[in-house]
Amino acid sequence: MSASPPESARASASSEPLHLAVALDGAGWHPAAWREPGARPGELFTARYWSDVVTEAEAGLLDFVTFEDALALQSSSADGPDGRTDQVRGRLDAVLTAARVAPLTRHIGLVPTVTATHTEPFHISKAIATLDHVSRGRAGLSIQVSQLDHEARHFGRRAVSLPDAEAYEEAADHVEAVRRLWDSWDDDAEIRDVATGRFVDRDKLHYVDFQGRHFSVRGPSITPRPPQGQPVVSAASAAGTDTAYGLIARSTDVGYLGVRDAAGARAAVAEIRQARESAGLSAQPLHLFADLTVFLDEDARAADARRSRLDALADAPYSSDTAVFTGTPAELADLLQDWRSAGLSGFRLRPGVVAHDLPAITQGLVPELQRRGVFRRSYEADTLRGLLGLERPVGRYAAHPAA
């Protein structure tokens, strides 16, 4: 995508604040990012690196960060490890990383990625509920599926990956079981009365009795209800595919759309909104963010030159499963305001090089959006649901008989 600002950008600008998130993956989304000055490749697997990165995102008043994760090494091949040694391979666990940086931040949402295909809802519900407690209400969950046979072989449960439709159906079951487990403790289930010796009111813990095609979960959880009641659930769709649209429509609070332009965003938004209405959920809020990889500099030519240099290091032009923007923060602001007219409520930006492009977002793009009156100047809430304007839901079992 060129840096030329769309002519309609300012005309379509809205006075409503937009939402911004950043997707974090190692040194950045360009495969040669780790070789850039300031990339800190020797610290990618340290708590200090991740705390510094998330602290920078919070300084930019972003709504949340997502942490990429998977259950196999990164690879350029769908058939298994590619054997490359010139690109970053390996990740820290996303949930544990989020939990480590949570006490070092105060406002920004923390959304780790979890692969539903090879994990149990009970374990995930407990992990994300714990993250919500540790962060005092700033946890989220980015649910993804795996269709990689070599990843499935790590677990030995299946000989091959599931068909797309079944994989996403399984993910929807996973989310439903997780959500029920979050509600399995009433908000006031903990008594903690030393004088009477009562720590918990057992009548306020509930069996969830989830019976789906892929999971059967009895409950209750062993972790008290999260501070948000329901941490924010999100999922992504890749550019050119609609396989995740049903999952986003039926099961999430936030959807990330891999689209190439405003027209593609408009079509995706319409399809997901229709699916949500068909599921009887149109009254429930749903944020739709466009995913966008960015290479930013004060001068558009400098941004182009930097991306070209990275491509030369990688021996291939950079490609992505979503749109790629190269240019200045002001030009990116034009683009975001233009695309927003497609019905998007926000954007999840992927820094091409974290060391360079994350500060360009927080110190360049954010001030530009603030000058235009479309982005916050301070955090207005202490929970992720609050930042996204989502109410804290009442527990579904609170008025029901005890487990």
Residues that constitute the known binding site for FMN: 69, 113, 168
- How far is 352 from 28, CA to CA, in rounded Å? 5
- How far is 198 from 216, CA to CA, in rounded Å? 31
From the centroid of its chain, how far is CA 46? Answer: 21
Helix or strand or coil: residue 59?
helix
φ, ψ of residue 289 in degrees (nearest 5): -110, 140
From the centroid of its chain, how far is CA 151? Answer: 21
Helix or strand or coil: residue 265?
helix
Tokens at 9, concatenated: 């950008």
Q: Which residue, 281, 356, 262, is CA-closest to 35?
A: 356
Q: Give the residue ranges of the annotated binding site.
A: 69, 113, 168
Helix or strand or coil: residue 255?
strand
Tokens at 371, concatenated: 């000058």
Q: Are 207 and 220 in contact (CB under 8 A)?
A: yes
Beta strands in 239-316 (DSSP E): 254-257, 287-296
User: Residue 185: beta bridge partners?
Assistant: 205
- Pure H helices in 18-138: 47-59, 94-101, 121-135
Q: Are 116 and 144 in contact (CB under 8 A)?
A: yes
- How far is 236 from 70, CA to CA, in rounded Å? 14
User: Residue 216: beta bridge partners?
Assistant: 211
Residue by residue, DSSP assigns 234-259 as EEEE-TT--TTHHHHHHH-SEEEE--
By CB atoms closer than 10 A (0-12, 13-18, 19+), residue 316 is: exposed
Q: Are 295 and 326 in contact (CB under 8 A)?
A: yes
Tokens at 357, concatenated: 């492009």
- How far is 251 from 246, CA to CA, in rounded Å? 8
